[in-house]
């Protein structure tokens, strides 16, 4: 098998939880502000996207508060007008979620085939999210975790998820996202995949504590080997 991707081990200002501070699709990545030029260059090299710095209500946890695919973006309701404009300027329909569960990045897992959301989201919120992403929505858990956006990372080529995913959950993931599903960990044993991994179909940035064995799983799960 040969590698066909770019993987980059990184931390953001000495924090290996890169997924908390960044979110990407195949064209654009939104990242927290105040990262060094060197780090930003490595992100671009790995996932080959336009990089857009973002602050959501002065919070740096962009990856936890924002979810998007190629069609639309869902963002927490304490976002300001200027930030919505920045997101819209990248060509997205934007849905501001006013549910009590409003950490969109934590509570939504999405690609261009489907989305899985926190099972306690309101029906009205789910309808708005579905209209924004333009894909079917399912409720569910991963490894019994309701914060599905942090329990897995999905692209249009593959999905890596929490090692305690049940067979039933795995079948639902395969059906929703139309990709192969594998289990793994990041950052030397963390099962919360979304906290330490940011990926698209072209590459990934991975928390710096991640081991070689964990990286091998990431490459295989996300279709980076052929």
Q: What is the pLDDT of residue 99?
A: 86
What is the pLDDT, as a whole number, of residue 226? 67
Question: Which pLDDT score is estimated for 225?
Answer: 84
Q: What is the DSSP string of the chain?
A: --B-SEEEEE-BTTB--HHHHEEE-SSEEEEESS--HHHHHHHHHHH--EEEEE-BTTBS-HHHHEEE-SSEEEEETT--HHHHHHHHTTT-EEEEE-SS---HHHHEEE-SS-EEE-TTS-HHHHHHHHHHHTS-EEE--BTTBS-HHHHEEE-SS-EEE-TT--HHHHHHHHHHH-S-EEE--BTTTBS-HHHHEEE-SSEEEEETT--HHHHHHHHHHTT-B-
Residues 6+ apart with CB under 8 A from 58: none
Residues with pLDDT less than 70, the chain: 1-5, 226
CATH 3.75.10.10 fits 6-221, yes or no: yes
Record the pTM.
0.96
pLDDT computed for residue 208 by the predictor: 98
Over residues 30-88, the pLDDT tens digits come to 999 999 999 999 999 999 999 999 999 889 999 999 999 999 999 999 999 999 999 99
pLDDT for 4 equals 52
């Amino acid at each position: 098998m040969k590698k066909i991707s770019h993987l980059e081990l990184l931390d953001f200002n000495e924090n290996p939880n890169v997924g908390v501070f960044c979110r990407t699709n195949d064209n654009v990545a939104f990242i927290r502000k105040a990262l060094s030029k060197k780090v930003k260059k490595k992100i671009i090299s790995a996932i080959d996207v336009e990089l857009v710095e973002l602050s959501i209500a002065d919070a740096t946890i962009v990856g936890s508060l924002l979810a998007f695919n190629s069609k639309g973006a869902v963002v927490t309701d304490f976002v300001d007008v200027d930030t919505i404009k920045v997101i819209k300027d990248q060509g997205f329909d934007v849905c501001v979620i006013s549910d009590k569960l409003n950490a969109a990045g934590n509570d939504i897992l999405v690609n261009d085939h489907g989305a899985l959301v926190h099972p306690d989201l309101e029906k009205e919120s789910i309808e708005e999210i579905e209209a924004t992403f333009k894909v079917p929505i399912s409720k569910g858990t991963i490894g019994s975790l309701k914060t599905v956006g942090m329990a897995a990372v999905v692209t249009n080529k593959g999905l890596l998820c929490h090692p305690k995913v049940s067979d039933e959950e795995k079948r639902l993931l395969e059906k929703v996202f139309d990709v192969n599903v594998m289990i793994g960990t990041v950052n030397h044993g963390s099962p919360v995949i979304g906290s330490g991994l940011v990926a698209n179909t072209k590459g990934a940035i991975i928390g710096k504590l991640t081991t070689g064995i964990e990286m091998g799983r990431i490459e295989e799960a996300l279709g980076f080997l052929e």
